[in-house]
Amino acid sequence: MEEIKALYVDLDKLRNIGIMAHIDAGKTTTTERILFFTGRKHQIGSVDDGTATMDWMIQEKERGITITSAATTCFWKGHRINIIDTPGHVDFTIEVERSLRVLDGAIAIFDATAGVEPQSETVWRQADKYKVPRIAFINKMDKTGADFEMAVQSMVERLAAHPIPVQIPVGAESDFKGVIDLIEMKVIRWLNPEGTEMVYEDIPAEYLDKAEEAREDMIEKIAEVDDEIMELYLEGEEPTAEQIHAALRRITIAGLGTPVFCGSAKMNMGIQPLLDGVVRYLPSPLDLPPVRGFDKDGNEVLVYPKEDGPFVAYAFKIQSDPYVGKLTFLRVYSGRLEKGNYVINTTKNVKERVSRLIFLHADKREDVDYIRAGDIVGVIGMKSTITGDTICDEKTFVVLEKMEFPEPVISIAIEPVTKDDETKLSKALQALLEEDPSLRAYVDQETGETILAGMGELHLEIIVDRLKREFGVNVRVGKPQVAYRETITKPVRTEGKYIRQSGGRGQYGHVIVEFEPLSLDKTFEFVDKTVGGVIPKQYIPAIEEGIREAMQVGELAGYPVVGVKATLVDGSYHEVDSSEMAFKIAASMAFKEAMQKGSPALLEPIMRVEVTTPEEYMGNIIADLNSRRAHIDALETRGHLRVVKALVPLSEMFGYATTLRSLSQGRANYVMTLSHYERVPDKVAEKILKKE
C-alpha cells in the first residue's frame, strides 16, 4: 500500500512524458534503463533478447520493435514520471500521434551515428503540431561512427530546431568514457558496468578548453532566446547553475529550444542526468496552458488542471486485454474520480460505469481507489468509449478537441478458414478496430470478401498475426491491394432529373451542376450559385449529400472519387412532389453523368521513400528503384551512409523489404510514407482496369 500512496504526488511533481524516435534509435532500451535506475525493475531487460518490459506483445518480442505505445510509472527524486514508450516504425505513427496528444513533454532520442533519421523527423513534426516541449538524448555514443556534433547539427538542418547541448561526450565509439556537464563543469563517469555507481570529477586538462568553449556556446544559445540570461551575458556576468537551470526550463516549456544530453543506454551511461533533465526542464501539468474544449452550445471552455475542479478526461487508446476485456487509457485533465462511479461520455452522450481504476506498468497493473488531474491511467468497465472520446462527471459537459486519423493506403482481403472462424472473426475485428483508429474493415458488396485496410504492409501483417494468435481466428489472406482513387480531368455541365408520377404524391428533383477538377489533395468542394429560389434552400444540403454519396464509387473501377468541385447553377422544383430524397437522387444522377463525360482518370498513391545504405550498394538500389517507376529526388550523405530519397508508386513497392535485404546483404533499410495521389500513366491504368 505504501507504493500506491506514493503514486499521488503534488501536481508540480508530476511529469507525463513520451519517448520518441526513429526505429532502432534505442527508445525501448532507454526506457528499460530508466525503469532500472528508478527502482521499478531489479534487472535490465533487453530488446534483442525479447525481455524488454515495454515490448510485451509477442509480435514485439519476435521483431525487436515497438508496435503499441506502452505506459508505465516510475519515481525520481520525489517526482512521479508517467512514461509512454512509442513506436518508431512509420506504419504505427498513429500510436505516436495519440500519445503526443495527451503528453506534457517528450524525450527525443537520436542515434549518434545517424543523427536525425526520417521517422524521427516525422515524430518531431507531430510533437510540433501538439506543441509538446522536448529534451533530446544523443544515444549510442559508444557505437562505431558516433559523432555528437554531427547529430546536434542534423537537428538544426533537418528539424529547424534550436538544440542547446548541456553536456558533451568524453571520447566516442570504443573510447566513450563519460560526459562533461557544462552547467556544473564536471566530468560524470560511471564506475561499474551496471551504471549504478557514478562520480562527478574535475575536468581533465586535455578536455578543459573544449568544455569551456562548449559552455560559452551553451550560454550564448540560451541568451538568444531568454531575456534574463541575455541581460547577464551583455553585462559580462557569469550566470549561476540555478539561473541556467531556470532559463532552460523556461525555454523548453515555451518550445524555444531543446536541451541536449548524450550517453549510451545500452552501456548504462547517461541515464541519471537525463532523468534529472526530465524533472528539471520538462513541464508539470501546471506549467502548460489549459486544454480547450466546447460546451453543448459549441462555446469554448478552458479546462484547468485542478483536483477540486470538474472531472474531465480524454480517452486516447483502447486495448483488448485477454484477462479483463476492454481497457481504456485515460489522460485526466481536471478533477477526481473514484472507482465504481458513473461518468458521461460527452462525445457520444452515453453513461458509463467505471468498475476498476489501474495504474499501468506495461502489461502489469496496480489497482487504485481514485484518479485525479494529471494522471494517465487505465479504466475497466467502459463499454461505448473509443479513442478520441471525452469523459466527464455527471454534472459537467465538455467535449475536448478530437484527433484526426489518416486514410489507409493499402488493403488485403481476408476470409475465415472454417465456419467456427467466421463467428470469431467479427468479434475479433470489432476489438481490433476499437484499438486502432488507422485500421478499417468492411465487406466488399460485389465479392462479399472482408477487406482490411491499413497504413502499410507491416501494419496489416501484424493485424493478421494478432487475429491468429490473440483471437484464435485462422484466415486466408489475399494479395495486398492499392487504395486507388478516381477523378475527372475536364470541366463538364450535367443535368440530373428524377421525376416519378404514379398517382398520389410523386417525386420531383431537378438540378443542373457544373463539375470541374480540383487539386488532388482536396476531396470535394460544393458551391451553391442558384439565384431567385429556383431550388428552395432546404433541399441544397440533400443535393450536396447526393453528390458526396455518389463519389464513394467511381465509374472506371468503383474506386472513391477525389479532386472534384461541384457548382449548383440551376434546377427546378415542384410545390408538392419535391423532396430531399428526390433532389439527392437527381444530384447523384448528375454526378454519374459527369464522371462519364469528364474524361475520368485513375489516381494512385505515391510514396515518399528514403533508403539508407552503405555506399557500395547504392548503384543496385537506384537501378531497382528506377525499375519501380521511381522519381529519384535527392542523394545525400549521412555519416558513413548514403541516403536515396525517391517518390515511388505504392503498387510498385510490395515486397520491397525482402528485395532491399538481398540487394544490400541486409545492411540497408528504408522508410515509406504517403506523399500524394497522382494520375496513373495510361498504359499502367489499362493493365489495372483489365484486372478489375
pLDDT per residue over 198-210, tens digit each?
A: 999 999 999 999 9
* Per-residue model confidence as pLDDT tens digits over 468-519: 888 889 988 887 778 889 999 999 999 999 998 766 678 999 999 999 999 8
141 is in an annotated binding site: yes
Q: How far is CA 662 from CA 169, 301, 590, 617, 620, in A?
A: 37, 56, 52, 10, 11
389 is in an annotated binding site: no
Containing 440, the helix (H) or strand (E) segment is strand 440-443
Predicted confidence at residue 321, as pLDDT, reads: 67
Give 394's strand partners.
Answer: none
87 is in an annotated binding site: yes
27 is in an annotated binding site: yes
Q: Determine the topology of domain 1-281 in CATH.
A: Rossmann fold (3.40.50)
587 is in an annotated binding site: no
- Kindly indicate whether the domain formed by 410-482 is annotated with CATH number 1.10.1040.10: no
374 is in an annotated binding site: no
Distance CA 74, CA 44 (A): 15
Q: What is the CATH number of domain 487-598?
A: 3.30.230.10
Predicted confidence at residue 450, as pLDDT, reads: 86
42 pLDDT higher than 70: no
Q: Are 141 and 262 contacting, i.e. CB atoms less than 8 angstroms apart?
A: yes
Predicted confidence at residue 49, as pLDDT, reads: 42
53 is in an annotated binding site: no
Closest Cα partner for 412 from 447, 383, 373?
447
Q: Confidence class of residue 316 from pLDDT cuts 50, 70 and 90?
A: confident
Predicted confidence at residue 40, as pLDDT, reads: 59
Q: Do domains 410-482 and 603-689 have the same CATH topology?
A: yes
More confidently predicted of 138 and 317:
138
139 is in an annotated binding site: yes
Parse the chain into domains and list their residue ranges. 1-281, 291-400, 410-482, 487-598, 603-689
21 is in an annotated binding site: yes
66 pLDDT higher than 60: no
Q: Are 550 and 583 contacting, i.e. CB atoms less than 8 angstroms apart?
A: no
323 pLDDT higher than 70: no
Q: Confidence class of residue 361 from pLDDT cuts 50, 70 and 90?
A: low
Mean pLDDT (the chain, rounded):
85
Mean pLDDT over 151-163 rounds to 92
Q: Which residue has the cell 512509420?
A: 90
Predicted confidence at residue 85, as pLDDT, reads: 62
28 is in an annotated binding site: yes
Mean pLDDT over 567-591 rounds to 94
Distance CA 274, CA 26 (A): 14
Percent of the chain with pLDDT over 90: 48
Predicted confidence at residue 469, as pLDDT, reads: 82
22 is in an annotated binding site: yes
Architecture of the CATH domain 603-689: 2-Layer Sandwich (3.30)
- Kindly indicate whether the domain formed by 291-400 is annotated with CATH number 1.10.730.10: no
Predicted confidence at residue 141, as pLDDT, reads: 95
Predicted confidence at residue 639, as pLDDT, reads: 66
Predicted confidence at residue 108, as pLDDT, reads: 94
More confidently predicted of 25 and 619:
619
24 is in an annotated binding site: yes
326 is in an annotated binding site: no
Predicted confidence at residue 1, as pLDDT, reads: 33
Predicted confidence at residue 692, as pLDDT, reads: 57
403 pLDDT higher than 90: no
Predicted confidence at residue 107, as pLDDT, reads: 94
23 is in an annotated binding site: yes
C-alpha cell at 419: 465456419
Mean pLDDT over 644-660 rounds to 87
128 is in an annotated binding site: no
Distance CA 237, CA 231 (A): 9
Predicted confidence at residue 99, as pLDDT, reads: 75
